[in-house]
């Protein structure tokens, strides 16, 4: 089984460029209507709202009606989150919650992409030593 998560986006080119910069990799697939990034053990896809709306709406609402509403969370867990945190700030992701220790044993910062999808950047607390 192969797993792919697909985010519905308003501007495919803008989202492609943002995620390429954040993930520090080029898309593995970049065709009209679909972009894919290969990550460890899964794929992250980006599809325009209008493309998926032709398939699912109706009976489901047009995904564009949810822009800005948090609809999913992309949780990026790595040993050293420093580089990706700097990239998130450099590319202008909207900060939601500062990088801090959470009760589940990770230090996590939360951001929102232009469509309102939540991006969590996390590291195990032990990889940073003691808490600030």
Q: What is the pLDDT of residues 39-48, one digit of tens each?
A: 998 999 999 9
Q: Could you tell me if 54 and 72 lie in one domain? A: no
Q: What is the pLDDT of residues 57-110, one digit of tens each?
A: 999 999 999 888 888 999 999 998 999 999 999 999 999 999 999 999 999 999
Q: Could you tell me if 72 and 14 lie in one domain? A: no
Q: Could you tell me if 80 and 55 lie in one domain? A: no
Q: How would you classify the pairing of strands 42-48 and 34-39?
A: antiparallel
Q: Could you tell me if 79 and 111 lie in one domain? A: yes
Q: Could you tell me if 29 and 78 lie in one domain? A: no
Q: Which helix (DSSP H) or strand (DSSP E) does residue 56 occupy?
A: helix 49-56
Q: Could you give the CA distance from residue 85 to residue 88 in angstroms, rounded to a whole number?
A: 5
Determine contact, residues 85/108, Cβ cutoff 8 Å. no
Residue 130 has pLDDT above 60, yes or no: no
Last residue of a domain, one of 12, 42, 67: 67
- The torsion angle over the Cα atoms of residues 84, 70, 99 and 13, rounded to 10 degrees, is 20
Q: Residue 33 is part of which domain span?
A: 1-67
Q: Could you give the CA distance from residue 34 to residue 8 in angstroms, rounded to a whole number?
A: 10
């Amino acid at each position: 089984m192969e797993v792919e998560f697909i985010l519905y986006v308003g501007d495919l080119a803008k989202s492609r460029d943002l995620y390429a910069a954040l993930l520090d990799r080029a898309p593995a697939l970049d065709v009209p209507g679909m972009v894919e990034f290969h990550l460890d053990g899964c794929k992250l896809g980006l599809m325009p709202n209008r493309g998926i709306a032709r398939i699912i709406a109706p009976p489901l609402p047009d995904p564009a009606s949810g822009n800005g509403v948090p609809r999913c969370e992309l949780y990026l867990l790595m040993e050293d989150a420093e580089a990706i945190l700097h990239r998130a700030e450099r590319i202008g992701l909207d900060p939601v919650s500062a990088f801090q220790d959470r009760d589940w044993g990770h230090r996590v910062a939360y951001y929102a992409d232009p469509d309102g999808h939540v991006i969590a950047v996390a590291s195990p607390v032990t990889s940073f030593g003691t808490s600030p």
